[in-house]
Amino acid sequence: MNPSEFDSLADAMMERIARAVEESGADCDCEPKDAGVLELEFADGSRIVVNRHSAAREIWVAARSGGYHFRWNGSGWVDTRGGGELLAALSKLVSEQSNRAVVLR
């Protein structure tokens, strides 16, 4: 995958994540930051940061429980260690940090 293909796929996913968070009713603020960064801020002051990492061609997630890297496998963004899908992982992380069941689609 070349850099422009990665940027296009990653940007589309970042937009999808922002839309999914807003539609989920999660108790957090979702703010796009500079160049491919989303910041989710929760009532308790904790954050989840989602950013595209162009050099590695991955989407990185930093949450209270740790850091996660997701790579495009041709059909979706998959965790490089556990093999889980990005939106499923974010659903779990947002649920943990908001103390409320959240499903991102």
pLDDT tens per residue across span 60-95:
999 999 999 999 999 999 999 999 999 999 999 999
CA 56 – CA 10 distance, rounded (Å): 12
Element (H, E) at 60: strand 58-63
Q: What is the pLDDT of residue 39?
A: 97
Counting beta carbons within 10 angstroms of the beta carbon of residue 69, is it exposed (0 to 12), middle (13 to 18) or buried (19 or more)?
middle
Is-contact 93 48, C-beta < 8 A?
yes
What pLDDT score does 34 carry? 85
Structural fold of domain 3-98 = Metal Transport, Frataxin; Chain A (3.30.920)
5-64 confidence digits (pLDDT tens): 999 999 999 999 999 999 998 889 999 998 899 999 999 999 999 999 999 999 999 999
For the whole model, what pTM was predicted? 0.94
pLDDT of 35 = 82
